[in-house]
Amino acid sequence: MDFSGSEPVRGPREAELLPATVAAAVKVVIVGGFGVGKTTLVGSVSEIRPLTTEETMTEAGVGIDDLAGVERKSSTTVAMDFGRITISEELVLYVFGTPGQERFWFLWNGLFEGALGAVVLVDTRRLEVSFDVLGRLEDRGVPFVVAVNSFPESPAYPLDELRGALDLPPHVPIVECDARGRESSRDVLMALMRYLYELAAQPVG
C-alpha cells in the first residue's frame, strides 16, 4: 500500500527499533467518548508494551465526568495511550489513544498532528457520547472508520441502524469489534488502512 503523507523511517533510534525492511511508519489515532475502550484496544493490539497515562479517578471529576453506564470505571486516560503494530514487512502503525473526557480534548491538536486517519470507538449503550467526537473529526477533515465495541451488556443493533443513529455518510466504514481481542482490534486497524487506501486511489477533482 502506498499512503500519501506517510514518512519513511529514518534515524538511528528508529533503526534500532524497527526492521530494516520497514519503509513507512503511519500514525493513526483512536478516539471516542469516555469509557468506550480506547485504552483496552491500544493495549490489546500493541506488539510492544503500551504506554498509558491512566490515573485513578478522584473527586476532581465529580460533576464533570459523566459516569452514566460506566459507574465501575476507576481510572481514566489523562494524556494519551501509545502502541505499535507491524502490519507488514514494510508498514508499521503507531497507534495513539486520546482521552475521552471533554476537559482533556485540548490535547487532540498535538495527538492528531501527522495522523493519516482515525478509529472512532463507540459503545451502543451510550451512543450519545460519540456525537461530539464525530463532529470534531468531520470539522478537521480527518478520515475515519467507526468501530462498535462489544460489551457483554451492550444492546446489539444492525449496522445500518447504527449508521443512521450516528448520521454516518454511506462511504464511512462501520465494523464490529471486541477491543479486548488482538485479532479483532487488528481487523479494525486494517479496515482503516483499506479505507485510507481507497481514498488515496480516488482521482483528484
What pLDDT is stored for residue 106 in this prediction? 63
| Domain range annotation of the chain | 12-201
Digitized pLDDT (tens) for each residue of the chain, 205 residues in all: 555 445 433 333 444 456 666 668 899 999 998 889 999 999 999 999 988 765 554 444 444 445 444 444 445 444 588 999 998 888 899 999 988 666 656 676 778 899 999 999 999 999 998 999 999 899 999 999 999 999 888 888 999 999 999 999 999 999 999 999 999 999 999 999 999 999 999 887 6
Q: For cell 507488514, name the residue.
A: 88
Q: Which helix (H) or strand (E) holds 14?
A: helix 12-17
12-201 carries CATH number 3.40.50.10310: no
What pLDDT is stored for residue 15 in this prediction? 43
What lies within 8 Å, CB to CB, of 112 at 6+ separation is 29, 118, 140, 142
Cα–Cα distance, 34 to 130 (Å, whole number) = 9
**pTM of the predicted structure, to 2 decimals:** 0.79
What pLDDT is stored for residue 73 in this prediction? 42
Please tell me the chain's helix, strand, coil percentages from 3-state DSSP, rounded to the nearest 5. 35, 20, 40
184 to 150, 176, 181, 187, 193: CA distances (angstroms) = 11, 8, 5, 5, 14
What pLDDT is stored for residue 57 in this prediction? 42
What pLDDT is stored for residue 77 in this prediction? 46
